[in-house]
Amino acid sequence: MRPASSACQLAYDPFCPIKDFLLHLLPIPYAPDDRFGIDFLASQPGLIWFHSGSQSTDSEWFSAWPSVEYQYLGQEQIRVTDHTGHSRALTGDFFDCLKTHCPKIEGHTDILFGGGLAGHLSYDFGLELHKVPSQFPSHGAPLAIVGQYDWSISIDHTQQRAFLVVQDYCPPAIAARARALVKQLTAQRPATPAVVASRSANTAPSLMPDTASKWSCDMSERRYTEAFQHIQDYIVSGDVYQANLTRQWSTSAAGLPDWEIYQQLICAMPAPFSMFHRHRRGSLLSVSPERFIQIRQGRMQAQPIKGTRPRGRDAEQDELFRQELLNSEKDRAENLMIVDLLRNDLARHAKPGSVQVTGLFEIQSFNNVHHLVSTVVAEIKDSAHPLDVLRDAFPGGSITGAPKKRAMAVIDEVETTRRGHYCGCSFFLAGDGYLDSNILIRSVSLADDTLTCSGGGGIVYDSECAAEYAESEVKVHAIMAALRP
């Protein structure tokens, strides 16, 4: 990477490190019935939205038109493209590149994201990080795509506040478009509630054609059984304690807009760590229930999910499933393995003695499943960067198994295709150092007119093949049902 120079600081240059700068806040009238202009951006390049579902009581933010997009192509090859379309190739560590170019701004209590970096890492990036060779040829897609967003609309539903945030260093053309957006949405605020607030999973009309309902799976039940047995053999021999086995489904989505597909998905499956990201190679549509790592005001937090049961057909059966999960020794043991793995991952950049488990085996319920969730916290070292923590904990242990590197090698051996985005993570890093991220489960990728999604679960010594196979179906059923005509 080119070193900083005084000349490159005089004008906007995406290939040079960015100096500290200020942000400008413009209050927007808060109205809970609409989404503050995101529908006006539905077709815009680089659209990104971090939110928590249709009944949000938390904070959310969205943006578009990234000033710079960073693509990691693997083997330390990086493509950097600015907002004018000018690209340049760099060589080096991707995370170091992001750290060098991430802007630094003062935090503000009224905004979630005042500008910085946002995007996603594919699971396959983790193979390179851990030096795990893969049997599968490269599919040519970038291993990570991260945008630098110099403006956003940030919404706090608790305080009922909304702001347009424009960084001082935002390219003038993008800043002008952002301000024009606010004028447009103020003048043309929808007369009816937005689609997400007004539709339910039962009433939202489907936009998918008949051909798109034909999801095909890459792994038959027989092939799954063989893979399951191979993992069991590795467990008995002491190679791994747990390995996550997944299957992938795909279907045609020719001619269908990514934004309309996502509306159906979030209507049916609102989730606390949802995100939408349109990038140069396709779109990522996530309704993830799982936080990966959050770092805020020096405090790190991870919330691994291990243990799943379906929702019941009525209240009585639903409670039976809930209690079954809560009292399952197998699921609790599986969860505890990953808690220990996350404790070790966070400890690499934690102040000595600060790592704690503040929640263990807690039930969280979603539209389609119950999950067993634990919480690990720690204080970050003063010398550590949030991206160091993200890199050294990636990919999340809840979707690999333990020990992580060996489990990843076993996964690559027994699964039938690359995971791609699935089981990677999406994240944002604000200029004030606030990082939040999810694990890309319950997520759909759209590329080349094809939708893909995946589901799976952790295999341990006392796992039952039929039950694990059924669990993988449960995890994707709601996605496929939401996108079926």
φ, ψ dihedrals at 399, nearest 5°: -115, 15
Residue 405 DSSP SS3: helix
Q: Which one, of 288, 283, 266, 287, lies nearest residue 43 by Cα? A: 283
Query: What letter would DSSP give residue 1?
Result: -
Radius of gyration of the CA atoms of the chain, in A: 22
Q: Which one, of 289, 254, 261, lies nearest residue 480 by Cα? A: 261
Of 306, 404, 468, 471, catalytic: 306
What CA–CA distance (Å, rounded) separates 449 from 252?
A: 6
What CA–CA distance (Å, rounded) separates 441 from 140?
A: 22
What CA–CA distance (Å, rounded) separates 448 from 421?
A: 15
Residue 214 appears among annotated catalytic residues: no
**203 Cβ contact list (under 8 Å, min separation 6):** none
- Sequence letter at residue 409: A
Residue 415 appears among annotated catalytic residues: no
Of 69, 290, 415, 468, catalytic: 290
Q: Which residues are catalytic?
A: 290, 306
